[in-house]
Structure 1
Amino acid sequence: MGTGAITGYIDVAQVALYVFWIFFFFLVFHLHREGKREGWPLELDGKGDTLVDGVGGMPIPKTYELANGQGSRTLPGPAPASYELKANSTGPSAGYPVEPTGDPMVDGVGPAAWATRPEKPDLTIDGEPRIVPLRVDSDHKVNSRDPDPRGCAVIACDGKQGGTVTDLWVDRAEPLFRYAEVDVGDGTRLLPMTMARVSKDGTVQVKSIRSDQFIQVPKLANPDQVTLQEEDKITAFYGGGTLYATPERKEPWL
């Protein structure tokens, strides 16, 4: 047997398989840790001072430079301050469902919960606000073959009019409409297009909330731009309505 002829007494295929298994194990371990840069460590229900790192511990902090002069972020880092959970656990230990103590849609409970995000608008690659109303962006318009809901009524889940569409907000990055701006009498509110259905005559149907709840949708600080935090709160309000808008929605089907 010549020098280096290891294939005569070593199963190369089996060695390659073992090497792959070891590599794959460390790959999964690495990806699992990297996935915990945000949202970790976990906080146990009702025990704000008890944090759980999970399997494998936490990754080494890494600093990311943000685009458009927005500074930098180090992750994992100090967790942003969260809002008070206005709900009580229905059981003696962690993991039990919670029962809201107030208005869950306003308090951010369950499907109406929102995450703490920056009070800054999402930006395009050019550093401009990504989501804006058509009144400040003349480059976009409604396709002539599509219904234009501007000036049309918004009908809520109770069959009543909750407001009137006054404008549409376009996503400059992928051009599509993200929100409809609705006049509710006491100013305007945003309605996510994913929570609405536009009929051929332009009328907008909303199944998630009642007509009287449109006025409770979070307001914008700037009428011509929406921040990441405002987007989260607005979407959470409509999402919460799918469970909390009417009393009968809270009960189980079975």
Structure 2
Amino acid sequence: MPSAAPTNSVDVAALALYTFFLFFLGLVIYLRREDKREGYPLDSDRTDRSGGRVVVQGWPPVPPPKTYLLAHDPRPSEFVRQERDLTGLLAPAAGFPGAPMQPLGDPMQDGVGPASYAERLDVPDVTFDEQLPKIVPLRAAAGYFLAAEDPDPRGMTVIAADGIATGTVADVWVDRSETFVRFLEVETAPGGRHVLVPMMLLRIDPARRRIKVSSVTAAQLLAAPVPQRAEEITLREEDRITAYFASGHLYATPQRLGPLL
């Protein structure tokens, strides 16, 4: 007798449905595993009390390190990410496990909370083609200039959140790749410190030739972190400076920490 066709005893529709279910289940597990590359294992009191024996990561576990081939990164493709040592900078706000952490000192200078920054490479980001430092002042960026229809902030007075003038704009830092203004370089006094203020955290008043920085007070602007080199900024410095000024919206004054009502 001729053998029966396999489709006579197989429900193709059910087989396709079950195959889809298995595929979708595998996809969910894969995505849940991949999203644990950042933030896991969790910082937990259980880990501290057990001397590192208990790892709070849930299921599925944290995946093995992934290899990334970066164009301008001199480090090996697989490395242990550098974590900042926050010992002595934070303390639990309450006695229960998982309580929020409270800054012990100056959170803006310590780089905690909204002022946190990543330990990125301490080298400048570079352009793709010429491999030149990407974010530089106009004095070091040949061929770059401010559009004629836009106000030129150089020479304008910078006013902090408390209404105190902190200096004048000495130069404009541009992104060579994006043709975009990233920072304004503020000279705090003749021959004094040069502080970089993020462009997104200031407001220019061309009529009165003033620039308002509402995120920080005058004292905080004068104490802001600055790049090590006069015409370059590293990836780590870029993160730290931006986080410092952004955190002032919460930390600049005691009144900003409390509720509005």
TM bin (shorter chain): 0.7 to 0.9
Aligned length: 251
1:24 aligned partner:
24
SS in 2 for 1:191: strand
Shift in CA distance, 247/67, structure 1 to aligned 2, threshold 3 Å: same
SS in 2 for 1:36: helix
1:15 aligned partner:
15
CA contact (8 A) 1:162 1:210 kept: no
- Write the distance in 1 (CA, Å) between the matches of 2:196 and 2:73: 28
Q: 2:173 aligns with which of 153, 162, 169?
A: 169
Displacement after TM superposition at 1:160 (Å): 1.8
Displacement after TM superposition at 1:16 (Å): 2.5
1:179 aligned partner:
183
Q: Indicate yes or no: 2:104 matched with 1:98.
A: no
Taking only the aligned residue pairs, the percentage that are identical comes to 41
Corresponding letter in the other structure for 1:232: D
1:53 aligned partner:
57
2:250 aligned partner:
243
The TM-score, its normalising length taken from structure 2, stands at: 0.85
CA contact (8 A) 2:47 2:56 kept: no
Displacement after TM superposition at 1:230 (Å): 0.6
SS in 1 for 2:43: strand
Shift in CA distance, 47/82, structure 1 to aligned 2, threshold 3 Å: farther
1:112 aligned partner:
115
2:85 aligned partner:
83
Corresponding letter in the other structure for 2:201: M
The TM-score, its normalising length taken from structure 1, stands at: 0.87
Q: Which structure would you say has the larger Rg? A: 2
CA contact (8 A) 1:121 1:129 kept: yes
* Farther off after superposition, 122-131 or 63-72: 63-72
Q: 2:225 aligns with which of 208, 218, 221?
A: 218
Shift in CA distance, 124/46, structure 1 to aligned 2, threshold 3 Å: farther
Shift in CA distance, 164/44, structure 1 to aligned 2, threshold 3 Å: farther
Shift in CA distance, 229/14, structure 1 to aligned 2, threshold 3 Å: same
Q: Indicate yes or no: 2:201 matched with 1:195.
A: yes
Displacement after TM superposition at 1:106 (Å): 0.6
Q: 1:133 aligns with which of 101, 115, 137?
A: 137
Corresponding letter in the other structure for 1:29: I
Displacement after TM superposition at 1:5 (Å): 6.4
Corresponding letter in the other structure for 2:200: T
**CA-to-aligned-CA distance 1:45-74 (integer Å, 9 cap, x gap):** 696665533431121223333214624331
Structure 2 unaligned blocks of 5 or more: none
Structure 1 unaligned blocks of 5 or more: none
SS in 2 for 1:72: coil
- Write the distance in 2 (CA, Å) between the matches of 1:54 and 1:100: 29
1:229 aligned partner:
236
Listed as ranges, the matches of 1:65-80 within 5 Å are: 65-68=69-72, 70-74=74-78, 77-80=79-82
2:42 aligned partner:
42
Corresponding letter in the other structure for 2:26: F
Shift in CA distance, 223/62, structure 1 to aligned 2, threshold 3 Å: same
CA contact (8 A) 1:153 1:164 kept: yes
- Write the distance in 2 (CA, Å) between the matches of 1:142 and 1:27: 49
- Write the distance in 2 (CA, Å) between the matches of 1:128 and 1:40: 35
SS in 1 for 2:127: coil
SS in 2 for 1:43: coil
Corresponding letter in the other structure for 1:93: F
- Write the distance in 1 (CA, Å) between the matches of 2:133 and 2:32: 33
Displacement after TM superposition at 1:143 (Å): 0.9
1:158 aligned partner:
162
Displacement after TM superposition at 1:3 (Å): 5.0
Of Structure 1 and Structure 2, the greater strand share is in: 1
